[in-house]
Homo-oligomer: A and B are copies of this chain.
């Protein structure tokens, strides 16, 4: 069966297309009698407006795009979930795109956003995104972009990030407070601005408290496990994990060696919150909430869309969630 259109409703009812259209959107020009008649007819014929035609005509898609490296990631998942919820509330649609951390796919995705005439884009850039030229094309056509989590370094764009320095500082301070003497600190991809900032903040506090600090970078689970095995030889009394991936690697190494947490070794992480609860004793972590980030990013989008020329640069504050691992 072919789709019902306004034209069909018009033919069946004998009313004009414009009357049908107005009746369905409760326009004051149309009499109540006609309205109810049209609405009933539309229901029996299962009319659904063709959204392409609507958008073409109104030039407003009520559509946002979001580009993440992968939806298979606790943090980005929760960001998307939050964005989705807000979109639903505000009657927007969300187009979810995955870049796979590939700049080429990323630029394809941006093209898709342009073709779809999105009203705005939320973007978490890939590590390799050096220039944001493909993004600037969006700006040329007045499509606002809210960068989140991994953002460009330049200052002339909207950003919503988790606390970079703060979260590292909180973890470091807790380690100092607990009188730890030697910490193994594992950081994520060293290309990211956030990693650099956290690294500096963390190591600074360590040296301020005269705590020995072994540092290394790792961006996946297996590598983290290897690193842990290597540096465990130096007998650290605590381990700091900057990401969930690092945490799982570290935990595998610890479990294999049958070390007791927190007696043999303490663990503290920065996390979105799910992974740390899987272990026993549960891992103490600094929560960087994707939900909050999503909500804030959406707010920023709405305010720039409604005309604010203010450059949004906002930060989610982190909170310490105490487990028994330190």
User: Does A56 touch B at the CB level, under 8 Å?
Assistant: yes
Interface size class on chain A is 35 or more
User: Does A22 touch B at the CB level, under 8 Å?
Assistant: no
User: Does A207 touch B at the CB level, under 8 Å?
Assistant: no
A1-43 near B? 1/0 per residue, CB < 8 Å: 1110000000000000000000000000000000000000000
CB proximity of A269 to chain B, nearest CB, Å:
14
Q: Which of A185-193, A230-238, A249-257, A300-308 contacts B (4 or more CB under 8 A)?
A: A249-257
Report the separation of the CA atoms of residues A248 and B276 in the bound assembly, to the nearest whole angstrom: 12
Residue of B nearest to A72 (CB): B77
User: Does A322 touch B at the CB level, under 8 Å?
Assistant: no
Contact B1 A140 (CB under 8 A): yes
User: Does A93 touch B at the CB level, under 8 Å?
Assistant: yes
Contact A117 B280 (CB under 8 A): no
User: What residues of chain B lie closer than 8 Å to A251, measured between beta carbons?
Assistant: 278, 280
Contact A78 B72 (CB under 8 A): yes
CB proximity of A258 to chain B, nearest CB, Å:
9
Report the separation of the CA atoms of residues A61 and B3 in the bound assembly, to the nearest whole angstrom: 14
CB proximity of A257 to chain B, nearest CB, Å:
9
CB proximity of A112 to chain B, nearest CB, Å:
7
Neighbour of A53 across the interface among B2, B56, B74, CB < 8 A: B56
Neighbour of A98 across the interface among B1, B84, B117, B252, CB < 8 A: B84
User: What residues of chain B lie closer than 8 Å to A256, measured between beta carbons?
Assistant: 280
User: Does A52 touch B at the CB level, under 8 Å?
Assistant: yes
Neighbour of A1 across the interface among B88, B114, B141, CB < 8 A: B141
Q: Which of A69-110 contact B (CB under 8 A)?
A: 70-72, 74, 77-78, 80-81, 84, 88, 93, 95-96, 98, 105
Question: Would you give 13 A-B contacts (Cβ < 8 Å), ordered by A?
Answer: A1-B140, A48-B114, A52-B53, A52-B61, A56-B56, A72-B77, A72-B78, A93-B112, A248-B278, A251-B278, A251-B280, A252-B278, A256-B280
Residues of A within 8 A of B (CB): 1-3, 46, 48-53, 55-56, 61, 70-72, 74, 77-78, 80-81, 84, 88, 93, 95-96, 98, 105, 111-112, 114-117, 137, 140-142, 248, 251-252, 255-256, 275, 278-280
Question: What 9 additional pairs, Cβ within 8 angstroms, besides A52-B116, A256-B280?
Answer: A1-B140, A3-B117, A51-B116, A52-B56, A56-B56, A71-B77, A71-B96, A93-B112, A255-B280
